[in-house]
């Protein structure tokens, strides 16, 4: 028991939590989060941290939510730590939306309480489930690395922050709510790298779920059981209750080895992410330059595309990233692909251009005393469409002197000078 408390305290300190730091622990009332709160409460005296417990009410289970909140409130009273119940502003639409809302509300509460860290109760078993699910869906190095033990989380984007100064001709995406806009976790890749950002930390990631439950049983600490965790309707539950036990039966310690593979892949993922940040400092641009994509190696190019897609709220799956890479390298000007949750991506002469109704031009900088030019339209018409000024088609280009017309394969008239 003391060994586990000491190990969690060391892991928490290794992740960067210093004496005097405020840590907001997200506690749902289940076994993992209850163990997180109890172990951090024991480690608070060793490390010297200021612990705050928070419970997020998802408004999806009217009968169970009040009981879960009461359980966490009693636990906070036993540990002698402050408690905050956080109701979500609306009923989430699915698990992804619920996670996004939960993280944003936790970050807001952490700032209000002066906490620089948000602690989550994910375990080594959760890591193995995540990696397996990523592999089944089709993933690359980023999905193989699983959940990071620590990451930054940016503040929510307010409407007055939608426009920022940047070079002329660059467009950014509105940070809309819901699945179309980037979450606060996606926006962390766009935020400046300073020490004022809230960080997510997972101090239980190296530890198995059975060890944590054994620790709670020895202390006679109860936890809440969520009935949805046993439902086979959810993919994660089928992986947890069927696939992982089957793998453990074939090779004992399979879950631990999957987590070890994720730890081995994480440094390579971090390196690719750093190279992508250097190549594309602001991923909110609507046009992704083609020369940059051509020069980048395959792995770096995919990381750049992933960074760009996630900044605009798209799903960064490997097949879709491969389609964008093929469009950039081998596509024709005017060719387009439809990207899920992102919109239409068209290959232009200068780069991959994103066509969405919520793109807005950002403010441009100009020399004092000069007249700034108005930014071009963020949704230019395709090259085969006529002018918007009238219903008539645009005039054909006049033949230069000494030129004869010939017919191109695409049936468009071009001119070759003799």
pLDDT in tens, the chain (418 residues): 678 999 999 999 999 999 999 999 999 999 999 999 999 999 887 888 999 999 998 777 778 888 999 999 999 999 999 999 998 888 777 777 788 889 999 999 999 999 999 999 999 999 999 999 999 888 888 889 999 999 987 554 433 333 332 333 333 333 333 333 444 444 444 443 444 579 999 999 999 999 999 999 999 999 998 877 788 888 888 999 999 999 999 999 899 999 999 999 999 999 999 999 999 999 988 899 999 999 999 999 999 999 999 888 887 778 888 899 999 999 999 998 888 777 889 999 889 998 865 444 433 334 444 444 443 434 444 443 444 444 444 444 454 444 434 333 333 322 322 2
CATH 1.20.59 in the chain is located at 159-180+281-367+375-380
Q: Across the chain, which distance is largest between two alpha carbons, in Å?
A: 94
- Specify the pLDDT at position 165: 29
- The 10 Å Cβ neighbour count of residue 15 is 16
Could you tell me how far CA 323 lies from the centroid of its own chain?
20
d(CA 35, CA 212): 6
CATH 3.40.50.620 in the chain is located at 2-155+191-262
The CATH code of domain 2-155+191-262 reads 3.40.50.620
Q: Which of 285, 280, 288, 283 is nearest to 171 (CA)?
A: 285
What angle, rounded to 10 degrees, do the helices at 209-219 and 2-14 form? Answer: 130
Q: Which of 296, 374, 290 is nearest to 327 (CA)?
A: 290
Q: How many residues does the chain have?
A: 418
Tokens of 237: 């539950």
Q: In terms of DSSP H, where are the helices of 280-398?
A: 290-295, 298-311, 318-330
Contacts of 278 by beta carbon, 8 Å cutoff, 6+ apart: none
d(CA 48, CA 186): 31
Query: Contact 3/41 with Cβ under 8 angstroms?
Result: no
- Specify the pLDDT at position 154: 53
SS (H, E, C) 91-139: CCCHHHHHHHHHHHHHHHHHHHCCCCEEECCCCHHHHHHHHHHHHHHCC
d(CA 387, CA 392): 8
Dihedral sign, Cα of residue 96, residue 185, residue 62, residue 230: positive
- Specify the pLDDT at position 179: 38
d(CA 285, CA 359): 9
- The 10 Å Cβ neighbour count of residue 59 is 14
d(CA 145, CA 131): 7
User: Which fold is adopted by the domain 159-180+281-367+375-380?
Assistant: Chorismate Mutase Domain, subunit A (1.20.59)
Burial class (CB in 10 A: 0-12, 13-18, 19+), 104: buried
Q: What is the bridge-based pairing of β-strands 50-57 and 83-87?
A: parallel
- HSE of 206, CA atoms in CB hemisphere, 13 A: 12
State the Rg of the chain over Cα: 26
- Specify the pLDDT at position 196: 52
Dihedral sign, Cα of residue 381, residue 386, residue 389, residue 391: negative
pTM above 0.75, yes or no: no
Dihedral sign, Cα of residue 38, residue 41, residue 47, residue 51: positive
């Amino acid at each position: 028991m003391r060994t586990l408390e000491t190990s969690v305290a060391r892991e928490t300190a290794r992740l960067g939590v210093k004496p005097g730091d405020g840590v907001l622990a997200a506690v749902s009332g289940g076994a993992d989060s209850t163990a997180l709160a109890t172990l951090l409460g024991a480690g608070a005296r060793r490390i010297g941290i200021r612990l705050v417990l928070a419970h997020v009410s998802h408004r999806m289970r009217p009968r169970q939510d009040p009981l879960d909140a009461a359980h966490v409130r009693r636990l906070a009273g036993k540990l002698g730590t402050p408690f905050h119940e956080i109701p979500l502003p609306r009923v989430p639409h699915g698990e992804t939306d619920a996670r996004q809302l939960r993280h944003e509300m936790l970050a807001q509460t952490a700032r209000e309480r002066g906490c620089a860290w948000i602690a989550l109760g994910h375990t080594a078993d959760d890591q193995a489930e995540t990696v397996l699910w990523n592999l089944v869906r089709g993933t690359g190095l980023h999905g193989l690395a699983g959940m990071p033990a620590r990451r930054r989380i940016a503040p929510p984007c307010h409407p007055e922050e939608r426009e920022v100064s940047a070079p002329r001709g660059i467009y950014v995406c509105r940070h809309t709510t819901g699945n179309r806009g980037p979450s606060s976790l996606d926006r962390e890749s766009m935020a400046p790298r300073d020490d004022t950002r809230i960080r997510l930390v997972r101090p239980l990631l190296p530890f198995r779920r059975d060890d944590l439950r054994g620790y709670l049983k020895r202390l006679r600490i109860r936890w809440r059981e969520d009935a949805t965790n046993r439902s086979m309707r959810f993919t994660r539950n089928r992986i947890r209750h069927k696939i992982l036990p089957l793998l453990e039966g074939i090779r004992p310690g399979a879950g631990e080895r999957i987590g070890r593979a994720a730890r081995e892949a994480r440094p390579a993922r971090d390196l690719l992410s750093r190279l992508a940040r250097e190549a594309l400092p602001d991923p909110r641009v609507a046009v992704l330059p083609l020369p940059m994509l051509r020069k980048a190696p395959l792995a770096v190019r995919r990381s750049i595309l992933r960074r760009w897609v996630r900044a605009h709220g798209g799903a960064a799956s490997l097949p879709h990233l491969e389609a964008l890479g093929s469009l950039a390298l081998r596509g024709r000007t005017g060719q387009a692909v439809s990207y899920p949750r992102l919109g239409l991506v068209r290959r232009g002469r200068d780069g991959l251009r994103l066509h969405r109704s919520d793109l807005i031009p950002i403010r441009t900088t100009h020399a004092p005393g000069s007249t700034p030019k108005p930014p071009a339209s963020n949704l230019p018409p395709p090259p085969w469409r006529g002018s918007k000024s009238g219903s008539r088609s645009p005039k054909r280009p006049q033949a230069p002197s000494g030129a004869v017309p010939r017919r191109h394969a695409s049936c468009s008239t071009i001119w070759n000078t003799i």
